[in-house]
Amino acid sequence: MKVLDVRSNTFESDFEVLLMRGKMDMKEVSFIVQGLLDEIIQNGLEAIKSHIARFDSWEARHFQDICITPQECLKAYNDLSPQLKSALHLAYDRIYAFHQKQKVKSWIDCEENGNILGSKAIPMERAGLYIPGGKAAYPSSLLMNAIPAIVAGVKEIVVCSPTPHNEPNPLLLAALHLCQITEVYKVGGASAIGLMAYGCKEVKKTDVITGPGNIFVACAKKLVFGDVNIDMVAGPSEIAIIADSQANPLYIAYDLLSQAEHDEMASSILISDNAKLIESVKKHIAEILPTMPRAKIAQASIENRAVMIHTRNIKESIEITNTIAPEHLEILTKSPFDVLPYIKHAGAIFLGEYSSEPIGDYLAGPNHTLPTGGSARFFSPLGVEHFIKRSSIISFSSNALAEVGEACALLAQCESLSAHAQAVLTRLENVKNKKG
């Protein structure tokens, strides 16, 4: 595991490499992805079926073959153990309660002169959720994407998730039943994004697509943006941990490995001003890693994408963290809430040693679909607002027009837009004549 020391002459160049972690080279895959999207636009379901055979190793002969029925989801839900069913409901309830607080409200403001101005919040009519299912299945991602859509009031929710060898994940099916989602397709990767963005004879297009995925999914979302809205273009998962001498090195080791086991491209970053802590964390990782079921994946991530940064003090740790703008940030210091005001860029912030990042992945409540690769500088976590659009409301009275009409016309004339100016002046003249 690489250790960077801010005192080193090579730190700046080494740190620049770390900052490039989110630069997925979409140039290499964009041609392939655009080809897949074009096939869906031109050939619809036939293209989807060919993509399933090509990428998921099974043959779909009919439209019904790619559908997951409500009956399948109900059976999977009924087959859950009581403990797992309880855990799923606990996660659902906590996530729902958090997102309920994000509800966007319409508002209207009536001014004294008769003006009525406002904003009308309107749920998207149809939302598409992409749930990964390649190296692992993620029922938690379904809850995190579906619940804000449900809270927003979206009427139609469609889910796409890959099913290699035509073997759906039972827990995902159970979660679909819990969320009462009945339109589900066994389609993955860029093909799923294309299906939700453009539709086909059998499937209506959506208005917004959310959910994480690999580079092909990210590239597809970027290419369809504009034809449909998206949440963000997210890359591999990542965690940064600010720690001081008070932090527990075993906790840190497990939290870093919790990201490394996602996939080979995940990034695990420790930032500390304590050299002993860094060495202790390295030792724990070396001991734990070989025992993990996904050791091969975690090993590749730790060797190629993990970094420990030795700083001079906590202030420098904070500055470096803000430059990284991590997806997940844990603050494991003596007084984590004293550090919080200085954090400017992070997708989700976990404070204190009992706030492990996996708690946020499953049931803390806030969304785990987060900006990655430094995009936390300008993107926010997935939320209810991603499933709502707003329309402005404008109603001017004659008195209001009399007050501001000439100024409006003058601004239009300055831009050489005469019809704009006359549209106002004609009305203004009529108002003056009525008053006269």
For the annotated binding site, the residues are 237, 259, 262, 328, 361, 415, 420
Please give the annotated binding residues for substrate, written as ranges.
237, 259, 262, 328, 361, 415, 420
Decide: 68 and 184 in contact? Cβ < 8 Å: yes
Do residues 142 and 304 make contact, with C-beta atoms less than 8 angstroms apart?
no
Verify whether residue 177 is a known catalytic residue: no
The two beta strands, 107-110 and 116-123, are antiparallel
Distance CA 412, CA 294 (A): 64
Asked if residues 49 and 187 have their Cβ atoms less than 8 Å apart, the reply is no
219, 29 contact by CB (below 8 A): yes
Residue carrying structure tokens 């819990």: 178
Torsion over CA: 251, 256, 258, 261 (sign): negative
Indicate which residue of 177, 328, 368, 386 is catalytic.
328
Note the residue count of the chain: 436
368: number of Cβ within 10 Å: 26
Dihedral angle computed from the Cα positions of residues 196, 202, 204 and 209, in that order, rounded to the nearest 10 degrees: -10
Binding residues for Zn(2+): 259, 262, 361, 420
Catalytic pick among 238, 261, 327, 330? 327
Q: What is the DSSP string of 96-163?
A: HHHHHTT----EEEE-TTS-EEEEEEEE-SEEEEE---SSS--HHHHHHHHHHHHHHT-SEEEEE---
Would you say 309 and 1 are in contact if contact means Cβ atoms under 8 Å apart?
no
Q: Is 284 a catalytic residue?
A: no
Q: Which residues are catalytically annotated? A: 327-328
